[in-house]
Amino acid sequence: MESLPQFVDRLSKAIGCYSHPGRGSYSLKKYDTMKPHHMGVFGWVHEKKTEDRFLIWADDELTDLQGHTDADEVKTGAIYTKTSIGVGYYVDKDSTGRDFHKAVRALKVIMMRK
């Protein structure tokens, strides 16, 4: 069964981005730096252990229309502040199928807009 670090490594390679471990999650970022406000963070990856899948959150303002429609969840207060809107993508552990490719496609667009 795929672990969170293994999944983030595979996901970041597919997207062409960098990642950084945090408290129980990973941030996806455009630039390989630790300087605040210069990393280009555009997503966060969490593990849903009870569901055997991963959840990727991104800022709704950075998605295109397709990424917003393809999102598995849209939620206010998911990221940044209580009023910000986040889009969530679920990917099953060890998945290389439709759910994985849908998330990669959306996150590539989101990274380019960051």
The residue with tokens 């994985």 is 100
pLDDT at 76: 86
Top-confidence residue, 37 or 110: 110
Residue/partner pairs of 23-30 with CB below 8 Å, 24 or more apart = 28/56, 28/107, 28/111, 30/111, 30/114
CATH of the domain at 83: 3.30.1460
Q: Collapsing DSSP states into helix, strand and coil, what is residue 67?
A: helix
Query: In this model, does residue 64 exceed pLDDT 80?
Result: no
Per-residue pLDDT, averaged over 42-68, amounts to 88
Burial class (CB in 10 A: 0-12, 13-18, 19+), 24: exposed
Mean pLDDT of the residues in the chain = 90
Top-confidence residue, 3 or 80: 3
pLDDT at 85: 84
Domain limits at 107? 4-113
Confidence of residue 105 (pLDDT cuts 50, 70, 90): very high
Count of the separate structural domains present in the chain: 1
**In the chain, pLDDT over 90 holds for what percent of residues?**
62
Query: In this model, does residue 8 exceed pLDDT 90?
Result: yes
> Could you tell me the pTM of the whole model?
0.89
